């Protein structure tokens, strides 16, 4: 089944009226008489899920109406195939009621807003909702809503889905909320992506409700990531640049001075910057030591040590 971009410009419900698209992806101001009411109710039709919006042999036979009165024309077969509970039993009960009234479409009113329902339906059809620029809050609400309608979170937020790519593009904007979402639903791939943006997070500052939402398993994974990186940093920075043979211009004390300076900077990096330390900040901070090195042999040794540190830090685990 594919999206039909050349479909008719007129909605064809039981009481069809013209509409025009707006930037929010909703066709505004049609007056559509819903099948379960004799009163004309002002609604609008989704610009993606409209009658004839998909090419293929099957036409839309189900109308989902959001709480803000936006109609989404969908295929009951698609919804029922994805749902383990007949769309929260709304489709089954609606069909029983509709059967006695001989109307064109089954109409189901849902409690979600059109923004959230739009995301959910895009996910069920494996279409990207990115063009509608949904908010992070609506994306998160949509995932939390999947179970209510019997949709598998693991199936519809799998890394191969269009929805996962949308989430991935937003993770960096609010990594803690997305990490908590992932932890709550045991979405490891999403949590892993989010964790890479939480390296500088002070775990003690996470609000209790966020800790509870992510759960102990994912909290522990985040703590373990931080500890792993801290232990690795300590190991990588341990030991100053290798000393060289004594020369006329560089005696034992000069080289010991460089070693002490290295240790001080290493301690600063470990205790002040810790797991979020980037290769650039690591190089810049350690590189400041090079300004005071006059001995060419010490400089060579320092450069080799710094290069080794940079390489090793680049290989340290950056996500859960």
54 SS3 class: strand
Residue 74: how many other CB atoms lie within 10 Å = 24
Query: Does residue 293 bind Zn ion (CB under 5 A)?
Result: no
CB 123, CB 72: distance < 8 Å: no
Query: Does residue 289 bind Zn ion (CB under 5 A)?
Result: no
Of 45, 194, 269, 298, the residue at the interface with Zn ion (CB under 5 A) is 298
41 SS3 class: strand
Task: Name which of 162 and 297 has its Cβ closer to Zn ion.
Answer: 297
User: Nearest approach, Cβ of 130 to Zn ion (angstroms)?
Assistant: 57
Of 295, 310, 312, 316, the residue at the interface with Zn ion (CB under 5 A) is 295
Q: Which long-range contacts (CB under 8 A, 24 or more apart) does 306-309 make?
A: 309/236, 309/237, 309/282
Residue 314 exposure: Cα atoms within 13 Å on the Cβ side = 9
Query: Does residue 140 bind Zn ion (CB under 5 A)?
Result: no
Task: Name which of 175 and 240 has its Cβ closer to Zn ion.
Answer: 240
Task: Name which of 88 and 298 has its Cβ closer to Zn ion.
Answer: 298
Residues of this chain, 211-270, that bind Zn ion according to CB under 5 A: 250
21 SS3 class: strand
113 SS3 class: coil
Task: Name which of 195 and 255 has its Cβ closer to Zn ion.
Answer: 255
The strand pair at 41-42 and 2-3 is best described as unpaired
Of 16, 270, 297, 316, the residue at the interface with Zn ion (CB under 5 A) is 297
User: Nearest approach, Cβ of 284 to Zn ion (angstroms)?
Assistant: 23
Task: Name which of 237 and 298 has its Cβ closer to Zn ion.
Answer: 298
Chain residues that interact with Zn ion, rule: CB under 5 A = 250, 295, 297-298
């Amino acid at each position: 089944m594919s999206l039909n971009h050349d479909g008719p410009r007129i909605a064809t419900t039981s009481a069809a009226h013209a509409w025009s698209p707006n930037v929010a992806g909703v066709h505004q101001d049609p007056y559509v008489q819903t099948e379960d009411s004799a009163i004309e109710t002002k609604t609008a039709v989704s610009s993606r899920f409209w009658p004839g919006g998909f090419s293929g042999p099957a036409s839309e036979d189900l109308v989902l109406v959001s709480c803000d009165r936006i109609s989404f024309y969908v295929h009951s077969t698609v919804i029922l195939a994805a749902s383990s509970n007949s769309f929260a039993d709304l489709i089954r009960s609606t069909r029983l009621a509709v059967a006695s009234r001989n109307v064109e479409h089954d109409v189901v009113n849902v409690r979600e807003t059109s923004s959230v329902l739009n995301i959910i339906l895009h996910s069920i059809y494996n279409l990207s909702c990115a063009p509608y620029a949904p908010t992070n809050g609506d994306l998160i609400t949509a995932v939390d809503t999947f179970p209510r309608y019997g949709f598998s979170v693991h199936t519809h937020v799998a890394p191969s889905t269009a929805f996962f790519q949308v989430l991935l593009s937003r993770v960096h904007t609010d990594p803690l909320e997305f990490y908590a979402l992932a932890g709550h639903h045991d979405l490891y791939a999403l949590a892993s992506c989010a964790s890479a943006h939480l390296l500088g997070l002070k775990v003690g500052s996470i609000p209790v409700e966020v800790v509870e939402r992510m759960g102990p398993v994912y909290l522990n994974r985040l703590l373990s990531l931080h500890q792993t990186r801290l232990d690795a940093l300590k190991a990588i920075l341990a030991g100053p640049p290798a000393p060289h043979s004594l020369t006329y211009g560089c005696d034992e004390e000069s080289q010991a001075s460089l070693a002490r300076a290295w240790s001080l900077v290493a301690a600063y990096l470990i205790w002040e910057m810790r797991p979020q330390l980037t290769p650039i900040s690591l190089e810049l901070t350690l590189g400041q030591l090079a300004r005071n090195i006059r001995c060419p042999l010490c400089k060579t040794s320092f450069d080799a040590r710094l290069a080794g540190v940079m390489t090793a830090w680049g290989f340290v685990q950056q996500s859960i």
